[in-house]
Amino acid sequence: MSSDPIRHIERIEVRVDFLEVGTTLAGNVYDEQNHLLFRSHIPFTQDMIEFLKKKGIQLIYYTPRDDAPVKTQPEGIEQFRNRARDIMDMLLEAVARNDRPDFNEARQFVRDLQDFIEADDSTLLPLMKIREYDDYTYTHSVNVGILSMMLAGKYGIDYEMVHDVGLGALLHDTGKLTISRDLLNKQGKLSGDEIYIFRQHPVKGYEYMEQFKDVSEDVLAIIHQHHEWYNGKGYPRGLNDENMHAGAKFAAICDVYDALTTERSYKRAYTTSEALALIMRGAGTHFSPVLVSRFVRDMTPLLQKHPVFPPGTLVLLNTGEVAMVREVHSIGDDKPIVAIVTDNQRKRLARTFNIDLTMDATRNLEKVIRFASIPPE
């Protein structure tokens, strides 16, 4: 994930035909040759629209201005990153030496992380930048811990349980320490034996942590079950949605999200939108459809500025009309081509009509009514 704050904002084309009296554009308005026509945020009057039409101007352009104040990094993030490193070092070293990890220290870390996140949702992203610091195993563990606690918190689960979800997620892959580095980083096809060894890591982690009394059943279940699937086709035991631990379901979806958005030697890092789209494809097979829609709904605003709108998604427009997403221009696009299906009184139209929201300055997506269910692959 890049920490580069520079974002590329493209100029947006608006058809003069679509302008209405009262339309305001969130940036200075230019003609095709980049001559300034009007200042930003000035409502169009009939005279202004007539002026454009008289000049034969059919397209105008504006570049949205981002006037939002830039949030500075909260104090303490740097300390958290360093502490996350130390804690994961301690945990992983203890496991590698077959020693007892200092669970008090790990618990206190998760507790502080939890309070930190609860105080301010927006701390998530800077914390996730822990990723940039070090190699995969512990950055991944910390990220899955943070994401799982965020998700569990959104479910209204009680504080102690969220804490266990965080600790379980932090420890979920400790069994990987029993697998050789060569196998963990192997590119290309794994042999049957290698797949077997790899798939034993939840069991190994569980067996290791089980010997310590201060690791709760909930934490153990998360370690043991984080690769189980909704449809029972996961591993190691083939549990399904009914017999999986709720915390393991949170950890499972966050595990996949973090793995997808992380660069590895054999793959690039997927963008947030791509990862969310892939997770949505797993609804009904890998993950519970309800959990996927909650993840997308609750986490997307935290993970990226623009939500994803897969084709088939029903959305409400600012005009009160209901529309169905037909086509997106790019992944993460919040101005897709939509078919308007009702009028602003929610009355079904006799014939739907398509609108490209990039071309229509008067219509915007307000909120998602229902996400498209994506057929499993």
Tokens representing residue 309 in the block:
């709108």
Question: Going residue by residue from 30 to 49, which x/- string records binding to Fe ion, judged by CB under 5 A?
Answer: --------------------
Question: What is the residue-wise DSSP string for 298-359?
Answer: HHHHHH-SS----TT-EEEETTS-EEEEEE-SSTT-SS-EEEEEE-TTSPEEEEEEEEETTT
Specify the residue, 260 or 322, whose C-beta has the smaller distance to Fe ion: 260
Specify the residue, 142 or 337, whose C-beta has the smaller distance to Fe ion: 142
CB of 173 to Fe ion, least distance (A): 4
SS3 (DSSP) at 264: strand
Integer Cα distance of 1 and 17 in angstroms: 40
SS3 (DSSP) at 98: coil
Integer Cα distance of 132 and 272 in angstroms: 16
Specify the residue, 35 or 181, whose C-beta has the smaller distance to Fe ion: 181
Specify the residue, 255 or 360, whose C-beta has the smaller distance to Fe ion: 255
CB of 332 to Fe ion, least distance (A): 25
User: Is 161 within 8 Å of 110 (Cβ atoms)?
Assistant: no
Element holding 13 (H helix, E strand)? strand 12-15
Closest CA to 170 of 229, 72, 83, 236: 83
Question: Going residue by residue from 248 to 287, which x/- string records binding to Fe ion, judged by CB under 5 A?
Answer: -------x--------------------------------
Which region among 19-27, 157-165, 173-181, 361-369 touches Fe ion (by CB under 5 A)? 173-181
CB of 206 to Fe ion, least distance (A): 11
CB of 301 to Fe ion, least distance (A): 24
Q: Of these, 142, 146, 168, 173, which contacts Fe ion (CB under 5 A)?
A: 173
Specify the residue, 94 or 254, whose C-beta has the smaller distance to Fe ion: 254
Asked if residue 321 binds Fe ion (CB under 5 A), the reply is no
Positions in the binding site for Fe ion (CB under 5 A): 173, 255
